[in-house]
Structure formats: C-alpha cells, structure tokens
Structure 1
Amino acid sequence: MARDAEATRERILAAATAEFAAHGFAGGRVERIATQAQSNVRMIYAYYGGKSGLFDAALADALRRMAENVPPRPDDLAGWAGDVFDHHQRFPDVLRLSMWAQLERPEATAEPREIYRDKTLAVATAAAQPLSAVDVLVFIYAIAQAWQLSPEGLTGLDANPIRDEEIAARRRSVVTAVERMLHDRP
C-alpha cells in the first residue's frame, strides 16, 4: 500500500490542532499527535522539523482555513461578524489554538499578518472616521469571540445546557452590536 504524504500531513495537522488547542504548546505532546494521526514521531519531524514547526504549521493552517471559510464582507460587516461567531461555534479549537499561540509562541502569530492585512484592506472602504479599518476589525473579532473567550465560571452560571435558541440569541446580539457600532458613530 503506497503512502499518501498529503493525507498524512493533513492527519498530523488535524491531530496537532486538537492537541495544541487542548494543551497548548508546552503541554502538547508529539507522541500523542503521532498516535492520533496514525503516524509516527519520525514523520512529524520529517514534515515539520519538530514540535515548534508543527505548532506554527497548525496555527497557520487553522487561520488560513478560517480566512477562506469566513472572508470579510465589506458590504455587510455586521453579517460577517455573525459568520465569525458561527465559525468559532463550529471550530472552537481555532480560537483556543490562537490564544495559546499568543501566550506561549507570540512569534508564531506574526506570520498571519498578511491575512489580517488583506481583511483590513477589504473593510477599509466600509470604515469611516473616527474608526479605522483596524479598529473595526478588532471590534468585530472582540464581539464575535466574546462568548468563547469568557470564563467558564461566568458562562456556566446558568446550570442548564445552552440551547440552540440561546446561541441564536447570542449571534443576533453580536450582529446588532456591530450594526450599532457602525451606524451610531459620531
């Protein structure tokens, strides 16, 4: 049976994303990633050069996929904020991995600048004074990610499981907040 190098790399990246999202860079284990990916540590080192290269590749891949799946909509920034919220609901590992990168490997977060620059340019026409395009993007991300980043001690105060209606209400509040931010400027 011939090996499929691309399929192996994809399995390794998927396992690395899950492992690093759960345990961070320091707590992530290459051995667990290899086992989960049905590969071996030697292949990880061959493809990615080691743990740091694998972490950086997993982060870059996760952010690239998000950029592809949720491109900015300059004509509907509030709707785009809802899309970002939805993406983080479906793929919470992406946000967790990004947060670990900011804490443990800030040098890895410098690479996606091109992605953010492209998003900033895409929304620049929709941004108006006193907010810059960067301000608009930061606000949208902050609002869209708020529930996923809030402490579990706060979000877990309601002992009942979160229902679909509650998630939909949170999404509506994200969209409304961005609409108001964009339309209620001085």
Structure 2
Amino acid sequence: MLQPDLEGMTRGELELLQLERLRRTIQRIAENNPRYHKYIGKVHPQDIKSLEDLKHLPFLTKDQLREGYPYGFTCAPRERFLRFHMSSGTTGTPIINFYTRNDINQWAEVMARCYSAAGVTHRDVIQITPSFGLFNGGFGFHYGAEKLGAMIIPIGAGRSMLQLQLMKELEATVLCAIASYPLRL
C-alpha cells in the first residue's frame, strides 16, 4: 500500500472522510461559482447529512458543461490554473478541464495509488502509450509513475515499431495503453 493510513481505513472511516470532502466541495462551489451552484440546486454543505444525499444532487450534462465554455464551471481564479486538457469536440464544443497545482498533485496521488494497487513499484519501468497533448491520456499515467518513483518511458501514441524496440531495450515491466493497443503490438 502506498498510503496505509488512507488505503487501510474501515468502511465507516472512509465514509466519514468522503462526507467531509463532499461538504467541502459543495462549500467551494457555493463560494466560488454561482452558475455551478445554481445547477446543483443551491444545496449547502449543512444539507448533506450522509452519503445517501448524493442521490439528490443532479448530474451535469454535456450540454450544460458546454453552456459554460470555457470557464463557466471553474472554482478557482484563472491565474491559479497551470494547464487545461479538453475533449476532442467531435460532437460539439469541446469540454475543457482546468487544473491547478493542487489538482495535478491529487491526480498524481490517485494514479500512484492505482499503480500500487496493481502491484507496480518504484522498481518498475513504465511505458506510457497514450498521447501527451490536449487530451489528458498520457499525463495521468506519467504523474502517477513519477510520484511512485518508477522509471518512465513517455513515448506517447503511435510509432508501434519504436514502442516494441524501447519496450525490449529498456525492459519495460508495465505498459499503459488503451485496451486494444497491446493486441495490435
């Protein structure tokens, strides 16, 4: 386990932590984004008594997210954003996700825990095949591997022959890819 204190929590402890974080998220939305707060029904942190109350919160649709393009659903000032990633926009206006330093750190933490849960350690060599660009595919794998302390082969998408060559020569022990790509290799 990467973080035994978190990963070893009892179900009750985990639910209390989730409830606290849900309330903090709702508070952050209420304080920083009236438009977003309107969409969730003007709910307030004190309205959330248990995780069962999640049922009463609406999902945002893709159309609603598009209505707020580009900054409509952010909860931090623009100067705090380090980067953004976005959907392809093939069905309409792209969906943009902005990331602060804290968001990126959390992303790294989550991915490192995923690796750890799968048995990956700092001794592994991780080959990352999803792209590094506007789509966030490769970045999460990269941040998690970096947080874990593993060696990274950040090759990105395509170049199948080079993928195979580097996999062999650098002795990759972990392959990060979309499900069909390893079959193609």
- TM-score, normalised on structure 1? 0.28
- Of Structure 1 and Structure 2, the greater helix share is in 1
- Of Structure 1 and Structure 2, the greater strand share is in 2
- TM-score, normalised on structure 2? 0.28
Higher CA-based Rg: 2
